[in-house]
Amino acid sequence: MKITTKKPILIVFFILSSATLLRLLKITANTSSSSHSTPALPQILSDDGCSFSSPKCAQFSSLVPRAVTCHANSSIAATLSEKEFQLMSNVISLRSPCNLLVFGLGPQLLHLSNLNAGGTTMFLEDDPEKLNAFTTNSKAGGTRICKVEHQRVSGEAYKLLKEARADPACSPGAGSLKISNCQLALTKLPREVYRLKWDVVVVDGPSGDSLEAPGRMTTIYTASMIARARAGNITDVIVHDVDRTIEKWFSWEFLCDENLVSSKGKLWHFRIKGNPSSANFCSSTASARNG
C-alpha cells in the first residue's frame, strides 16, 4: 500500500515540474525576442555634396547611433541638461515644420530632427569621431549630416573679434555671406546653407574646449549673418555653453542682448529680425558710436 500511495504523488510532481519548466522556457523566449527591438531614432540622409560613410555596430539596428552603443564614455556623451534640452525642444516644436540648421552633432541634437518632422534639418559637424558615430539611411528624407571644416582655433578669439569690429566686411550689411571677406565668415559650407531661409539655428559646435581646438567664433558670427540675411524673416538662434568666455563674448557682440528672449542653464535663446542692410548688429553699438 505504501508503494501504491507514493507512485501517484511522484507522477503529479513530475507533471507539475514539467509544466513549470515549459512556462519558464516560454517566458525566456519572449523576453529574448523583445530585447532585440530598439526604439526608432531619426533617420539620417547624407548628401552627395557633403557625405560620409560610417560603419555600423553589427549587433544593433542601422538607426541606432553608435554614440549610444559604442562611445558611451567619449566626448559624444550628452552635454545638454534636461532643462536646456527642454527649452531647445520647445523653440523648435513651436516653429516646426521649419528649416533647422545645427552646428554640432550628438544624440540629443539628433533628436531635434524628430521634433521637426516635415521640415528640413541640417547638421554641420567637423569631428570625425562624431561623424563616424552615426549610421546613415539613404531612404530618409528631410535630414542631412554634412562634414565641414573649422580653421579658426579658440586661441584666436580676441584677435578675430578686434579685427571684426574694425572691418567693414564684417558688418551685417556687407553683402552675401558666401563671398564675404570677413575672417569670421564661413564661406565653404554646403550650398543649401546660403540658399535656404533658416527659421532656427543652433550653435553647439565646434567643440571649443581648448585654446588649440576649433572655436565657435565663426559659427556664432555666421549664425548672426544667416539670421539677418532676409528682410522681415524672424530667426531663432540658440547658443550653448554660454558660461564660456568665447560663447558669451561673441553672442553679445553679434546676436545682442536686446535680442535675448530666454535662457536656461548654459543656453541662450535669441530672436532676430532679418535686416540685410543694417550697419550694426546691436542698437546699443550704434548708439555708442553715434554718441
Residue 13's pLDDT is what? 53
Average pLDDT (10-20) is 55
Does 69 have pLDDT greater than 80?
no
Residue keyed to cell 534636461: 82
Nearest to 44 by CA among 64, 17, 16, 22: 64
State the chain's maximal CA–CA distance in angstroms.
116
Residues 207 and 94 in one domain: yes
Three-state helix/strand/coil letters over 71-133:
CCCCCCCCCCCHHHHHHHHHHHHHHCCCEEEEECCCHHHHHHHHHCCCCEEEEEECCHHHHHC
Residue-range definition of the domain harbouring residue 33 = 1-37
- pLDDT, residue 114, reads 92
With 90 as the cut, is the pLDDT of residue 226 above it?
Answer: yes
Q: Is residue 231 part of a domain?
A: yes
How far apart are alpha carbons 161 and 50 in whole angstroms?
A: 29
| Among 201, 204, 241, residue whose Cα is nearest residue 223 | 201
Are residue 68 and residue 201 in the same domain, yes or no?
yes
Q: Are 234 and 272 in contact (CB under 8 A)?
A: yes
Asked if residue 73 has pLDDT above 60, the reply is: no
CA dist., res. 224 & res. 251, Å (int): 9
| Residue 111 is assigned to a structural domain of this protein | yes
Nearby residues of 108 by Cβ (< 8 Å), 6 or more positions away? 78, 79, 80, 85
Shared-domain flag, residues 192 and 52:
yes
Q: Are 198 and 235 in contact (CB under 8 A)?
A: yes
| 103 and 57 share one domain | yes
Question: CA 155 to CA 93: how far, in whole Å?
Answer: 36
The count of domains in the chain is 2
* Average pLDDT of the segment spanning 33-48: 36
Q: Specify if 42 maps to a domain.
A: no
Spatial contact of 129 and 76, defined as CB atoms under 8 Å apart = yes
Give percent above pLDDT 70 in the chain: 68
% of the chain with per-residue pLDDT over 90 = 64
Considering the domain architecture, whether residues 74 and 216 belong to the same structural domain is answered as yes
pTM: 0.74
In a domain, 43, yes or no: no
Same domain, 101 and 216: yes
Same domain assignment for residues 104 and 158 = yes
What is the overall mean pLDDT for the chain? 79
Same domain, 105 and 74: yes
Same domain, 29 and 58: no
CB 43 within 8 Å of CB 139: yes
Q: The domain that contains 137 carries what CATH number?
A: 3.40.50.150
Predicted confidence at residue 134, as pLDDT, reads 73
Q: Is 153 a member of any domain?
A: yes
* Backbone φ and ψ of 120, nearest 5°: -115, 125
Q: What is the mean pLDDT of residues 248-261?
A: 98
pLDDT at 67 over 70: no
Pair 20, 58 in one domain: no
- Residue owning grid cell 517566458: 27
Which string of DSSP letters, residue by residue, matches 127-168?
-HHHHHTS---TT--SEEEEE-----BGGGHHHHHHHHHH-G
Euclidean distance between the first and final Cα of the chain, in Å?
116
Verify that 13 and 56 share a domain, yes or no.
no
- What is the C-alpha separation between 216 and 154, in angstroms, rounded? 7
Residue 178 lies in a domain: yes
86 shares its domain with 187: yes
> What are the tens digits of pLDDT across the range 138-194?
334 689 999 999 999 999 999 999 999 999 999 999 999 999 999 999 999 999 999
Choose the weakest-confidence range: 57-71, 74-88, 275-289. Answer: 57-71
Cα radius of gyration rounded to whole Å, the chain = 27
**Which stretch of DSSP H or E encloses residue 239?**
strand 234-240
As a whole number, mean pLDDT of residues 34-49 equals: 37
